[in-house]
Structure 1
Amino acid sequence: MGCFCFAKKSSGKSQANNYSQSAKPNNHTDTSKVDLNVNGKKEAHSKDNQLSLDAKRLNLTDNGDTSGSTAQTFTFDELAEATGNFRSDCFLGEGGFGKVYKGHLRGIDQVVAIKQLDPNGLQGVREFVVEVLTLSLADHPNLVKLIGFCTDGDQRLLVYEHMPLGSLENHLHDLPLGRKPLDWNTRMKIAAGAAKGLEYLHEKMKPPVIYRDLKCSNILLGEGYHPKLSDFGLAKVGPSGDKTHVSTRVMGTYGYCAPDYAMTGQLTFKSDIYSFGVVLLELITGRKAIDNTRPAKEQNLVAWARPLFKDRRKFSQMVDPLLEGHYPVRGLYQVLAIAAMCVQEQPNMRPVITDVVTALNYLASQRYDPQIHHVQNSKRRDDDQRHLVRDGSSSD
């Protein structure tokens, strides 16, 4: 299955490119309004600060009441001091937005991650404004916290809480020597937490927001592998009233982009559900959404997985080999069923995020103990599958 959305090429070399990877093909201004108003009325600006000027220039409605937000404004000098004038040993990674640095803000005594917009990069001021507006209104344990921003002169910087374990991508793909692969329980915990973050955007935000850039590199991990969604520069307010979709330029990341959105430009909440299904498949299989190093029929993860969904006897072939057989058969079947529903080609066949959260919360609560449960070796997998095909039950 082809996907025709634009994508930024990821370097995949740095732990923290997760803070800055988002796909945008160029710096053209998207003039669609982003209305992030909470109270249903415009807030009169006491002064034309630079963020408001940016919003007006880009035809974005900066009318959310962010006066009670915890997001702070910082001077460029403060952020330069926090990073030792952006020293190379503070460098964490680089993506479409620009470079990311680890810093320590003396004023609040906190370690932070600082994204500095590259004026010649793939992303522009529009994404900066949308990110600030979105995260200024958001408050959820599965969304990365925006601490503040800087709009000194032509400088545009974002300041986030530092996520010490980097991105999910860095724990699934191309693991460095010595890094342990994620176990089954951790994978289910990450999946459930990421789903909760998406549920907040779809169901709790006022107005609701379509994320539009859900992928492994945008799921950051804190202590205990606690997941948080990040990078909201492509977020769009969802359809309201009797509208079924938002018409917009096709943007996102190749391999994660829903085919219906890629082909029509009609963005819906189900577009995010497809992307989430791809992430779920990556968690299960350990494979990348797009991997050009594999044989042609296996390069697109969803295209490879679809025929396997139809044959339970092949389910074990979909499991990440790095799990070394340490997974529950019943849990595998259930999470594959969720992933299969999420990546349905027809958007109306995909589940709503609330149902996904309910299912994944249950799976995450079913702790798998490799000391108690049997390791799924090839012979046992074959026996289990014959048993399941016969009567639909599982011994795990």
Structure 2
Amino acid sequence: MKITKLILAAYLLTSMAACDTDKNIAMYGEDSGAVRIEAAINTAFTRSNPGAAGDQQKQFNEGDEIQLSCEDGYLNYVLAGGKWVPTDNYYLRWGAEPVTYSAFYPVVSGASTANFTLPTNQQRLENLAKADYMTCTVENVTDDGSRILRLGMNRKMAKVIMTLADVGGQGKVQGVKIGSYQGYTNGEVVSGTSLISPFITVPEGGKAGQNGCTYTAIVAPGKAGTTATFVSLNYLGEDLVLPGIPELKPAKCYEFTLKVEGSIISISEPIVSPWDSGTLPGGDAEELQLAAYYVKEQPAGNATGMDWDNAMGVDALRNSSQTLPAAILTDGVYQWTVTGTIDEFATKQAVIDAVKSFDATVGQQFINWVGENGFAVDQRGVARNVNKMQAGAYDAGL
């Protein structure tokens, strides 16, 4: 007699009896012998504290998937309506003998309970979630009468958060990347390293690349690597590197202050805390909101885009995924996202309002000099689409 059985739900409709019952059995939702799961993060389930499952269950988000395997095979469960359900017509049934189960999250290509490649692009919340690798093994399990298999998922990664400080003047930090080991192979952290493009959060009222801006990355833990790059960035046109990945432990959150002074990068001693929050996306961070940038046909000054004397060039605006990662070229114009002012395509009036907001005095003087009708015509005298203004259209002549 098999310990467990992979049941094809469609086949159950033919009234075939399972090996541990003589009764006809229905589909998963009605089968009292089906294995149902509860999953929590960094929690060891015990019979003495089964109630913890309710609160811990909230640590996963709707739509999260876990892959569960045993000697009979494997299948995926998805969290839907607050319950974990199989993603297809196959499911597991309890048997009489002990079984060892293994599980991992997230369900991505190449992942298993022993292998995981850390994604290097973590600039979006969904990418950050796909880096949050967890595993679990539950040995010699039998049904305790609840028909529930409880999975205590253990985080295998660490979270690093860096907050910019002491950035001088109107200078802007760009292209920040955080070093990490590349993941797991056969259950061990691999020795090779990669540079992670982190998730960026700009504080309310702040600007990208300036003080208070935070960079969040999920990294593979491991021993200190003295020669590997931990931080790389560009400041005032100069590429800077901070070598030395510190020793990091799984399921921990490390918060650093990142300082850039001239040509020197430095980081503080980290604040270390348990990483016991739920899976992402789930409120750990807000989507990046971009500040407005000054753009001219040709770059000026240090081309940071922080003011008219240091305006960004049009080509830099087009090519800068770090500055405008959400920019999409559509119908010859770019989407433009400015904190609290413009969402997606800008109208002529929205551009005028944004110019006013740049500087209470200079912005209005510029509008008076150009004239509001001048915003509807580019420098070649060609009429613009006043409902789809390009970022910097009031000055770039496009």
Q: TM-score, normalised by structure 1?
A: 0.26
Normalized per residue, which structure has more strand? 2
Normalized per residue, which structure has more helix? 1
Q: Which has the larger radius of gyration?
A: 2
Query: Which one scores higher on RCO, CA 8 angstroms, separation ≥ 6?
Result: 1
